[in-house]
Amino acid sequence: KIAGAAYEMGARSTTPLLTMHKDLHPRLADAILARTAPKRVLDMGCGFGKTTKPLYEAARDAEILGVDLSAPCLKFAAQDAAKAQARNVRFLQRDAARTGLADASVDVVTSTMLLHEMPPAHVRATLAEAHRVLAPGGIMVHLDFLPPDDEFLAWLHFGHSKRNNEPYMATLAAMDLGGAIEAAGFRDVEISDFEEAPGALALAGRKWRFPWTLIAARKAA
């Protein structure tokens, strides 16, 4: 019964400073909404609603769908939405690679910390599913971890992968992710550093931080 709440507390370790934790997901929502004004958004692997919430709060005229495999996390997310009296969000227990949504039925597909949790074949299936459900001209925006160019910081990244039983961090890093996105049918692929809080990137050479990476692309119109 408390699994969703326990996961929510544990997830804060990815942004150990409180201000960073509060900033990360709203900053991603802002980055998405700066690119488009969607009518329908799919948040894949939504968990307890970490990015779903700032999306349904900021895009009140849009329908927000959150999908995840974890029933406890979905219950936590739904309770949080009910407390916020959000009327524009629904949560469904679905696999990101098999959402069951109609073809071309959403304007935005997003996820946070999902791709590094899956083996390469499932990453490719999830990219294909994102392309299928997106309407022409729709965008895909994932936020995840890819190792920095700096060899020492990359060593820390892969060490985290081993210590915390995150084997797919390494396989995601080894993928030609841009090529996989293009193979799924996307264009305008962008893979770039994402600043989880103001000034975070300036600390990157002096202080450990997760290598947040924005992975975006567009479906042809």
pLDDT tens digits for range 35-89: 999 999 999 999 999 999 999 999 999 999 999 999 999 999 999 999 999 999 9
Q: CA-CA distances (angstroms) from residue 6 to 49, 50, 52, 111, 120?
A: 14, 14, 18, 20, 28
Q: Which of 145, 143, 208 is nearest to 172 (CA)?
A: 145
pLDDT tens digits for range 153-208: 787 777 877 888 789 999 999 999 999 999 999 999 999 999 988 887 877 665 66
Q: Which of 201, 197, 181, 91 is nearest to 141 (CA)?
A: 181
What is the C-alpha to C-alpha distance for residues 60 and 172, in angstroms, rounded to an integer? 34
What is the C-alpha to C-alpha distance for residues 179 and 123, in angstroms, rounded to an integer? 12
pLDDT of residue 135: 98
Could you tell me the pTM of the whole model? Answer: 0.88
